[in-house]
Structure 1
Amino acid sequence: MTRSPLSTGSWTGPRERPLLKKWAGKLTGKVERIFIGLDTSAYTTSLALVDQAERLLWEKRLPLPVGKGGLGLRQSEAVFTHLQNLPRLWAEGASWLKLATPAGVAAATQPRPLEGSYMPVFKVSEAFGLFLAQSLGLFFMPRSHQEGHVAAGLWSAGLAPGRYLVLHLSGGTTEILAVEEQNCGALQIERVGGSADLNAGQFIDRIGVALGFPFPAGPHLESLAREAAQVTEAGTVTLPLAVKGSAVSFSGPESHARRLLARGCPGAKLARAVETCIADSLSKAARAVPGFAGRYQAVLAVGGVAANAFIRARLAEGLEPLPFYCAEPRFSGDNAVGLAVLAARSGRRGGG
């Protein structure tokens, strides 16, 4: 039983934090200004609109289609699909601009907030964002995909500005981050641990596809893992942890999982072992970060893997005594809501 407060739509344990209502129900209060968020990742085309109070007005995502047995798209294929998707999303979302004055645009222009961090897919959201800003006379704020994830997590968990240990867990990233959010909404991000080889989401997708599921395989593997308790053969299935300090590796555990699968290991047991390996590896690595129990106010998990209910609950137990929060499952995967929120916070301090 966990004693850590969770912000999750699927967790029903004790001391559950009430869900925020920023994105639910009828709007109360006047919508005066609208801020736009854009993200074109390797997996999803995303557009979001929030108002000056950071209330989510509208958001939509279009997953990039991947053929059966595939593990993602080439960058050129993803760019082409984004170029088709963004005008479709804008045609739907632009009607909200009749409600209030558009004020600013934030777009993901790179994977991480580091010099030299680059992926061609993000040039689409950058170009479209610049075009909107210049055409409508708005300020333009270039930000990274990672900053969008972190902002979405802080926003949906209702966390005040402070210093947090953030686990960014996705198909493209598995990093442990020291994040300080200042009152103006600016984010200072420093990598303090994580994986140097296979990412948590890649681990899940590779084993999920090997089990016969389509890409991305996360929801399918999670559903299968729930059946593990009903499978009596094979006994307890475990995967080795490869953790050294705050560094984790999932390439070894993945190879071990494939060997178990080849020997006939039940899929449900293997799926649960993958989830357990990921959660326990990250808990061990995070606890090795200098100042774990004294420097940070809480741990926050963001990214698509953080939507997995079992991994969330096991992380909460493994990271005690620090409070543990997650982006609400709806805002864990790739989205543009965090970027729109960053634009709104920038707008309050003058834009840009």
Structure 2
Amino acid sequence: MPLFLGIDTSNYTTSVALYDSDNHKDYSARKLLPVKVGEKGIRQSDAVFHHTQQLPDLVEKVKKYIDKPITAVGVSAKPRPVEGSYMPCFTVGLGLARSLSTLLNVPLYEFTHQHGHIVSALYSANRLDLIGKEFISFHVSGGTTEALLVDEDFNIDLVANTLDLNAGQAVDRIGLLLGCTFPCGKELEKLALNFKGKVKPKPTLKGTNCCISGVENQCKKMIDNNVPKEEVAFYCLKYIEETIYKMAIALKDKYGDLPLVFAGGVMSNSIIRESMEKRLDCVFAKPEYSTDNAVGISCLAYRGWKDATG
């Protein structure tokens, strides 16, 4: 079985994956970068250090699935497919990928972290058939809140984004105010699931773009007024959901009834996902494929090799 190795060293996760193209299966290992208690993020110098420390362990974990030579190596070389896109953390994965490609004498294919997210979502939803077609892909995380128009050649064009705070940043900031541990997504979701009432958030859009910072101020007021933590958490998530929903509707009005694909850590939230699936005809990455991972990169390595070899 041809095996394709994928490596992704994002701002918060170290990830290694193998894609078995014969059986359409993946084998992956990933590990979050440690963030000090009380910190709101991680410095790039620390991210580089931890990726360097964690990659050997993850390679060892996937090694047991290697029963034939690796055919090609794929890697996230930078965050996005735009000029000047760069983060030091991605150089760690790129360095390892280049070394392995040379030692194994196999092709190396470089992609962007954003391409990897999209393909991971399509793979997990069994919708790789959308590659080669036009669709809209949302990438909603701590570092990105964007809608991307993907064309038939898999080129990406930014068509909507946040004008201030990213959705994941809002989740973390509000989570910290509520006493959650950074990154706060899972704990905030647990709190929100205990709220059984209703809220009526009113998101702010400017054309197809959005403004998210308002939810932080509103949640601070709720906390100051002793609103229960569960309700504050629920309001935060529903505000983000309503924002993304309104963006999707605006984009459909502008570009037509194209397929919608959702990926990124924020979109793995069960409250947002279950509601959006009822409101829209859309594709969601499974939760384990929605957060940062190298599975999409390993699938792209296969496609790169296939295109090159015919």
For normalisation by structure 1, the TM-score amounts to: 0.83
Distance 2:284 2:228 in 1: 30
How far off its partner does 1:60 sit? 0.5
Distance 2:309 2:296 in 1: 16
Is the Cα–Cα contact under 8 Å of residues 26 and 295 in structure 2 kept in the other structure? no
Q: Tell me what 1:194 maps to.
A: 161
Is the Cα–Cα contact under 8 Å of residues 29 and 61 in structure 2 kept in the other structure? no
1:141 maps to a residue whose letter is: Y
- Is 1:209 aligned to 2:209, yes or no? no
Q: Taking structure 1 as reference, are residues 181 and 212 closer, same or farther at Cα in structure 2, changes over 3 Å only?
A: farther
Counterpart of 1:349 in 2: which secondary structure?
helix
Correspondence 1:50-89 to 2 at 5 A: 50-53=19-22, 55-89=24-58
Is the Cα–Cα contact under 8 Å of residues 133 and 140 in structure 1 kept in the other structure? yes
Q: Taking structure 1 as reference, are residues 39 and 138 closer, same or farther at Cα in structure 2, changes over 3 Å only?
A: same
Correspondence 1:313-352 to 2 at 5 A: 313-319=274-280, 323-350=281-308
- Is 1:118 aligned to 2:86, yes or no? yes
Correspondence 1:144-223 to 2 at 5 A: 144-159=112-127, 160-161=129-130, 162-182=133-153, 187-223=154-190
Is the Cα–Cα contact under 8 Å of residues 201 and 242 in structure 2 kept in the other structure? no
How far off its partner does 1:294 sit? 2.8
Q: Taking structure 1 as reference, are residues 152 and 54 closer, same or farther at Cα in structure 2, changes over 3 Å only?
A: farther
2:212 maps to a residue whose letter is: F
Q: Tell me what 1:100 maps to.
A: 68
Distance 2:271 2:64 in 1: 39
Distance 1:257 1:191 in 2: 29
Distance 1:50 1:37 in 2: 8
Q: Taking structure 1 as reference, are residues 213 and 309 closer, same or farther at Cα in structure 2, changes over 3 Å only?
A: same
How far off its partner does 1:208 sit? 0.8
Q: Taking structure 1 as reference, are residues 310 and 158 closer, same or farther at Cα in structure 2, changes over 3 Å only?
A: same
Q: Tell me what 2:193 maps to.
A: 226
How far off its partner does 1:324 sit? 1.0
Q: Unaligned stretches of 5+ in structure 2?
A: none
Instruction: Name whichever of 287-296 and 110-119 sits farther off.
Output: 287-296
Identity between Structure 1 and Structure 2 (%): 37
How far off its partner does 1:279 sit? 0.8
Q: Tell me what 1:44 maps to.
A: 13
Distance 1:194 1:255 in 2: 20
Q: Unaligned stretches of 5+ in structure 1?
A: 1-30
How far off its partner does 1:326 sit? 0.1
Correspondence 1:274-285 to 2 at 5 A: 274-285=236-247
Distance 1:54 1:198 in 2: 41
Instruction: Name whichever of 154-163 and 272-281 sits farther off.
Output: 154-163
How far off its partner does 1:101 sit? 1.9
Q: Tell me what 2:104 maps to.
A: 136
Is the Cα–Cα contact under 8 Å of residues 237 and 270 in structure 1 kept in the other structure? no
Is the Cα–Cα contact under 8 Å of residues 240 and 253 in structure 1 kept in the other structure? no
Distance 1:126 1:166 in 2: 25
Distance 2:108 2:42 in 1: 29
Which of 186, 198, 217 is the equivalent residue of 1:255?
A: 217
Q: Tell me what 1:7 maps to.
A: none
Is the Cα–Cα contact under 8 Å of residues 41 and 121 in structure 1 kept in the other structure? yes
For normalisation by structure 2, the TM-score amounts to: 0.94
Distance 1:54 1:115 in 2: 36
Size of the alignment, in residue pairs?
307
Counterpart of 2:29 in 1: which secondary structure?
strand
Deviations 1:8-28 (A, max 9, x none): xxxxxxxxxxxxxxxxxxxxx
